[in-house]
Amino acid sequence: MDHNYKQTGQGKLRFGRSLMSRYIILILAAVLFVPVVLPIISVIYIVVVNNTNTDREAPYGDVTRISNLWSREAKNLDGASDEEIRARLDQLHGTYPKSSMYRVNTSGETVFILGGEDVTLLKSTSPDGLTDTTLRWSLDSGQTTETHIPALWNVNNTVQFMKEASFRDPLTVVAYIGGDEQDKGQGFMIIEVPRSLLQMRQSNWPMELLYLGIVMTIIFLIFIIMSILFFARIRKRLIRLQTAMMTPGKVGIPLPVDIRQSDEIGQLEDSFNQMVHQLTDSHHREREEELLRKRLIAGLSHDLRTPLTVIRGHMHALHKEDLSEQGIHSLQRMEAKMEDLGGLIDNMLSYNLLTSGKYTLKLEEKDMLRIVRETAASWYPVWEKEQFEIDIDLPEKPLIWQMDEQGMRRILDNLFQNVIRHAASGKYIGITTQEIQGETAIVVQDRGPGLQQDSDTKGTGLGLSIVDLLIREMGLRKRVDSSDAGVRTYIYSGAGSHKPGEWFF
C-alpha cells in the first residue's frame, strides 16, 4: 500500500534548525541590547550632529585648530629675526583681529603686545619700577576678565600666569619660537582668543534625550514585534496541527499534514503523520477482516441449512417408527438441539445482515402490546413445558410505536429465548408495563441468577447483540437492571435520561 508520505524519523535535530536555537538568539539579542546598541546609538548621534550642525561653525575654528596653528607658526619662525617675528605676528593678528598676541624674548622681557578689537590695554607700574600691561577683555557673555602681562617675566609670575590661563576664557596658547622647549634662545609667544569665537560642542541635552528615547523605543518595538512574530508563527503551526487532529477524514481518521520545517514542531508533525498512516493501515486491515468474517458467516449459514434440513427430514421419519421410550426421549433431545442450531444459524445470518447494513427495516406505526401478546402466546407451550410461572399483565389500551414488526418479534423471541437458556432455574417469566422517564416501557422479568452469574447454558451472545442492533436501528431504547433476584429488561421509546449504574443501548 502506497501512502506517499515522507518519514523524517526521530533522529537528532540540527541545532541551527531548532526552535531552541532561534529562541536563544532572540534572548541574546535582548540581553546584549543595552551594552552594545546604546553606545552605537550614541556614536551615530554624535556623527550626525557633527555633520549637520554646520550653522554653528565659529569664525576662528576650534581649540585644536588654534593650538596647532600657533605651534606651527612658532616652529616656522625658528631662526627668524625680531623684525621677521614681529611682521609675521602682525599678519596673523590681521587674520585674527579679535585675538591678542604678545612675545617674550629670552631675557624674559615682553617685547610687544598686539591687543584685540574688544581688548583694552591698561598700563601700570610694578614695585620694581617697570611698566606692566593689563588686557581687559569684554566677553560676549557680558562679563569682563583681565590678563596681567608683566614687563619682565620671572619664575613666580610665569607660574602664576600659567596657572590662571589653564582653563579660563579667553583661550591662552603658549608656544616656544622654534618649537624646541629645550632651546629657549628665541623666547616664546602667546595668543589669547575668546572662546566664544571658537567652535564649541553645544550641549543640547533635551534633544539628545529625545533622540536616544526615540531610537531606543523604535529598537525595543522591533524586538517586541520580532518576539510576537516568532511565537505567533509557532502558535499558528500548532493550531494548524490541532485542526488537523480534530478534523476527521472520510473514514473518521484525520488526514496527514504537510511538514514544512524540520524543527521540533516538524518532528511532532512527522509523528502525527506516522500515527495517521498506522491508523489507516489498521482500518484497512479491519475492513478486510470484517468483510472476510461476513463472507464466512454468510457462507456457513447457507451451507449449514442444507444438511440441517436433511437431518430434520430423517428425524421426522423416525417419529413413524416404533421406538423405545429411551429412543423417543433421545429423539426429542435431538430435535431440541436442532431447533437451537437452527436459531443460531438464523441469528448469525441476521447479525451479519445488520452489521453490513443489508437488513431492511420497514418502520410503521404498530400496536406494541398486540405484538407482545401474540409473541408470548407462541411461547406459552415452551414455558409450560419448562414448568415456568407465567405472569403477564398488559393494559387493554393500545401502545403505538414506530417500529418494524418483524424486527420487534425477533427482539421478543430472543429475549424469551434468553430467559429459557439463562434463567431456567427461577422458573418465572413476567411481562408487564411500567412508566419510566415519561414513557410506557415493556418489561420482561425473570428470577434467574442475574447477569453477574455464569450460566450453565451460556451461549455466544449473538441473540442479545441482535436485540441491541435492532433496537438501535428502530430508534428505541433498552435498559437492563440485574441483581441476584433476577433481570428486568425495559424496552421503551424516547431518549430520556438514566441514573448511574443503569445500562442503556
Give dist(CA 237, CA 268) in Å, integer: 11
Asked if residue 259 lies in contact with residue 266, where contact means CB atoms within 8 angstroms, the answer is: yes
The answer to whether residue 70 scores a pLDDT higher than 50 is: yes
Mean pLDDT of 389-411: 89
Q: Report DSSP letters for 336-374, one per residue.
A: HHHHHHHHHHHHHHHHHHHHTT------EEEEHHHHHHH
pLDDT, tens digit (0-9, with 9 covering 90-100), for 16-41: 567 777 778 777 777 776 677 667 77
Domain final residue, candidates 144, 167, 197: 197
Q: What is the pLDDT of residue 449?
A: 87
> Helix, strand or coil for residue 460?
coil
The answer to whether residue 6 scores a pLDDT higher than 50 is: no
Q: What is the pLDDT of residue 503?
A: 38
The answer to whether residue 457 scores a pLDDT higher than 60 is: no
Asked if residue 495 lies in contact with residue 475, where contact means CB atoms within 8 angstroms, the answer is: no
Identify residue 475 by its one-letter amino acid code: G
Is 29 among the domain residues? no
pTM exceeds 0.85 for this model: no
Weakest mean pLDDT among 15-24, 82-91, 113-122, 286-295: 15-24
Q: How many domains would you assign to the chain? A: 2
Mean pLDDT of 151-173: 83
In sequence order, what are the residues at sequence separation of 6 or more whose Cβ sits closer than 8 angstroms to the Cβ of residue 285?
Answer: none
Q: What is the pLDDT of residue 382?
A: 86
pLDDT, tens digit (0-9, with 9 covering 90-100), for 195-234: 888 865 555 566 667 777 777 787 778 878 888 888 888 8
Is 457 among the domain residues? yes
CA 466 from chain centre, in angstroms, equals 48
Is 39 among the domain residues? no
Q: What is the pLDDT of residue 389?
A: 92
- Domain holding 490: CATH number? 3.30.565.10
Domain final residue, candidates 197, 220, 236: 197
Peptide bond into 170 cis (omega under 30): yes
C-beta neighbour count of 310 within 10 angstroms: 10
Confidence of residue 483 (pLDDT cuts 50, 70, 90): confident
pLDDT, tens digit (0-9, with 9 covering 90-100), for 131-140: 888 888 887 7
Mean pLDDT of 367-372: 92
Q: What is the pLDDT of residue 198?
A: 80
Domain final residue, candidates 147, 173, 197: 197
Is 368 among the domain residues? yes
CA 497 from chain centre, in angstroms, equals 40
Is 246 among the domain residues? no
Asked if residue 403 lies in contact with residue 366, where contact means CB atoms within 8 angstroms, the answer is: yes
In which residue are the cell numbers 596657572 written? Answer: 163
Q: How far is CA 228 from CA 19, 123, 234, 303, in A?
A: 14, 77, 10, 71
Task: Give the residue numbers spanning the domain of 129.
Answer: 63-197
Average pLDDT of the chain, as a whole number: 79
Is 241 among the domain residues? no
Mean pLDDT of 421-438: 88
Is 396 among the domain residues? yes
Is 326 among the domain residues? no
| Residues making up the chain, counted from first to last | 505
Q: Report DSSP letters for 161-173, one per residue.
A: HHHHHSS-SSEEE
